[in-house]
Structure 1
């Protein structure tokens, strides 16, 4: 588990690990269900070359902590496929994986987008399999599945600044975590600087909403390298230059933007560092390069346990992924449960309120008592809101 010496009641063996081999390409795929609550678990499906069952298990454990921290009546799971999403065969691999996982997707596992798998793609696959939408296992339990499906689709496709609500809500939550961190130290918004590693769905949306709020995003990194401008980057322009894989067309970048190596984003002088790309991006080997005052994990398991312990020893707190990037999962379940509707204002307000409150608590404990934010975050997931404890209760999930 990603954590600086912290333990929690989520540190138990997962309920199930499943390994799949694609009959066409021979690639491996994995499903790890950490906990079931009311017979359900939630967690996205990722695709990247080199994905391992250990990685997927870490992510499933993180999802269990995420759902408990935000009080969601569901357990944690994760899917992963060891395949390059840029390969033209990737859609076929994803479809065969979902077909093989159909017993779980039909009744127990609510999945969604993750690294390498955008929401529209996984929804297309579900539609071809006759499952309509990736929240299928929950939607079919509702009192009126058709009405719930309409509400979910309306929410996911609601147009907002920066894109569609379903695509940007996770990044919006990360932006609120960053703004909450600034509030904890009374940093003036316009003078606060941010470096973001990863400019895809999560990192791009975080960059958009931070820019909109007035923070200076001074560096962003994609697979091709880091773009840096000390005065602040024109984020809306850069986002328009991205391709389908979140890479920016360098031929159209303003000449006053520095083009640096990809790893330079880690050492960029900035108040906040947001790793929003791959898992395990900050390690014991590059941790000393971190120049930020706080790390906000937008990617799942972005910091290894060793690196986090060393950052904490340096006085650099890490806002853990199961808090900072929980916005998409929390909002999706609020939407499913009818606690918010498709109106973006409603979803943004609830997420902003809950994220700011949690970050304020985490950093208060850090500032007053030196308690690492992960430890305080794990306390939020104990014991009556803990997924493993709730899994033992015969609670019924009611979806209107």
Structure 2
């Protein structure tokens, strides 16, 4: 299992990023493995009855990176390509992200290797409940709290909660975040990541003393995060969204895309933009390199590579996705530091886990906050993290990514050192 993790390209990328910062922080070799390797990696089989009478066995995973600062926290994704190694990499990034935002969590990630669109509603519920059932020995409100991710949603979190609660003999709302509001979900949780991206893009413009009004943006990935971000930039900041894409299609319109119309279209067409007439259909790879003020990769890992990093024509690169930029691309972008202001992923998309933390706290206290309180607290945490990253980058002459990673890694390292090894 350890070999499977180490050979995964996404985990190799997370390890490479870590080693770069570990060299900078002069962390010795023995301590590096303690900081980067997951505490627990779980692989399970999930057999379900299909509605046609057959039985299919799916593969499920959960990786818990560390518990030095508190329980682990992380999303659960249902995607066909999910692997144990990818889960481990995402758990590691979640650890640095939580530490950067000063949240009392370690990182976790997991899910099922399945395309949820290939399942009926009944089959989706069966696989969701069985996944949680298999995970019950390893998760809990003080051990590991799940949340939604790619391919999952509020309904699946409700099924997770019910499966865990049924086993516990009582309602345990705090076992998951991202639930429906009627079950103890937090106001603004669904919009939290995209809302955070919007805030940080505005903050970057402010830092550069540029008015965002009328500036252009391209959003690669029009799922929950991408669509909320696109609408926020268009209707909150007055920016013009000139490009959007999803798994099926990439659309470009230099005059601006009606993102509210695109959002409604996707909702009515199985979350797909295929057939949307709001612009010209282009090559998805080309979309990333078109001129714009803000480029927002909001889909999957490793889309900014050595082959296209030198071709980016944006002023701000806001990494709404996890791990969208490879280390090789980072080396190129580091030479373009004066041209491109990078909001690294562990800062850019931290809004989701921040509001998940709010939800967990509220469920533990049985006391719900208003949307205004949630947004206010979120913005204060984002402002603090943004300022810390920019300040350290300037003081030490390092990239924003290395600045953000070093803050997160240092905080986890300090916690592990203080707790020591047992026995």
- What is the match of residue 210 of structure 1? 233
Contact kept in structure 2, 1:175 and 1:206, CA below 8 Å? yes
1:386 maps to which of 412, 415, 419? 412
Matches within 5 A, 1:72-151: 72-88=103-119, 89-106=123-140, 108-130=143-165, 135-136=174-175
For this pair of structures, how many residues does the alignment match? 373
Q: Distance in 1 between matches of 2:129 and 2:396?
A: 49
Q: Distance in 2 between matches of 1:387 and 1:173?
A: 27
Q: Distance in 2 between matches of 1:18 and 1:382?
A: 24
After superposition, give the CA deviation of every residue in 1:113-142 in whole Å (9 maximum; x if it has no partner): 00111132222243245355673279xxxx
Instruction: Quote how far apart the aligned CAs of 1:364 are.
Output: 5.0
Instruction: Quote how far apart the aligned CAs of 1:365 are.
Output: 5.1
- What is the match of residue 278 of structure 1? 300
Which structure: larger Rg?
Answer: 2
Contact kept in structure 2, 1:123 and 1:133, CA below 8 Å? no
Instruction: Quote how far apart the aligned CAs of 1:38 are.
Output: 6.2
- What is the match of residue 3 of structure 1? 17
**TM-score, structure 1 as length reference:** 0.83
- What is the match of residue 291 of structure 2? 269
In structure 2, relative to structure 1, the CA distance for the partners of 1:348 and 1:39 (3 Å cut) is closer
- What is the match of residue 29 of structure 2? none
Helix, strand or coil at the partner of 1:295: strand
Q: Distance in 2 between matches of 1:197 and 1:150?
A: 27
Q: Distance in 2 between matches of 1:245 and 1:360?
A: 39
Q: Distance in 2 between matches of 1:335 and 1:137?
A: 9
Instruction: Quote how far apart the aligned CAs of 1:301 are.
Output: 1.4
In structure 2, relative to structure 1, the CA distance for the partners of 1:39 and 1:177 (3 Å cut) is closer
Unmatched runs of 5 consecutive residues or more in structure 1: 139-148, 159-164, 395-400
Unmatched runs of 5 consecutive residues or more in structure 2: 1-13, 26-31, 48-54
- What is the match of residue 385 of structure 2? 358
In structure 2, relative to structure 1, the CA distance for the partners of 1:313 and 1:182 (3 Å cut) is same
- What is the match of residue 86 of structure 2? 55
Q: Distance in 2 between matches of 1:388 and 1:95?
A: 37
After superposition, give the CA deviation of every residue in 1:191-232 in whole Å (9 maximum; x if it has no partner): 322111111111111111111221222211111222222232
- Is 2:253 the partner of 1:239? no
**TM-score, structure 2 as length reference:** 0.79
Q: Distance in 1 between matches of 2:176 and 2:210?
A: 44
CA RMSD of aligned residues (A): 3.0
Instruction: Quote how far apart the aligned CAs of 1:152 are.
Output: 8.7
The ranges of structure 1 where at least 4 consecutive aligned residues each deviate by more than 4 angstroms after the TM superposition are 8-11, 131-134, 149-155, 338-341, 364-370, 390-394
Q: Distance in 2 between matches of 1:309 and 1:376?
A: 15
Instruction: Quote how far apart the aligned CAs of 1:371 are.
Output: 1.7
Contact kept in structure 1, 2:301 and 2:321, CA below 8 Å? yes
Contact kept in structure 2, 1:200 and 1:245, CA below 8 Å? no
Q: Distance in 1 between matches of 2:297 and 2:180?
A: 34
Structure that is richer in helix per residue: 2
Helix, strand or coil at the partner of 1:59: helix
After superposition, give the CA deviation of every residue in 1:63-104 in whole Å (9 maximum; x if it has no partner): 111111111112111113222121114443333222111112
Q: Distance in 1 between matches of 2:377 and 2:140?
A: 30
